[in-house]
Amino acid sequence: QVQLVESGGGLVQPGESLKLACAASGMISSFYDMGWYRQAPGKERELVAIVSNGGSANYSDSVKGRFTISRDSAVKTVFLLMKSLKPEDTAVYYCYARYSDFEWWGQGTQVTVSS
């Protein structure tokens, strides 16, 4: 049984920063990929950023240069540092982890960017 628990969401003003964290628990010692997706109201869930167990990271074009993903494999935690937040970043952010053909999702954390 694997559980992903997100933390760090909240309400911020445009231009501010926020850091999300996702801690994984369970029998998997090291995930292949860990990352973040988001879903805004009325829109499909989309990839934000993902990082492999080798440290290779990929970002959506909309967040490149503003968001940084990192992971601490020793404690099975992935982070998302979000800078220069925009109102269009408002969404529920979901943590994601993959091991072989198995995937897991967190329950989601709300990020709202509004003045």
DSSP bridge partners of 5: 23
Residue 74 has pLDDT above 90, yes or no: no
Rounded to whole angstroms, the maximal C-alpha distance in the chain is: 42
Asked if residue 73 has pLDDT above 90, the reply is no
Q: What is the pLDDT of residues 4-45, one digit of tens each?
A: 999 999 999 999 999 999 999 888 888 899 999 999 999 999
C-alpha span between 34 and 44 (Å, rounded): 20
Of 54, 12, 9, 17, the residue nearest 36 (C-alpha): 9
Do 67 and 61 form a contact (C-beta atoms < 8 A)? no
Q: Residue 27 has what pLDDT?
A: 82
Q: CA–CA separation, 28 vs 85, rounded Å?
A: 33
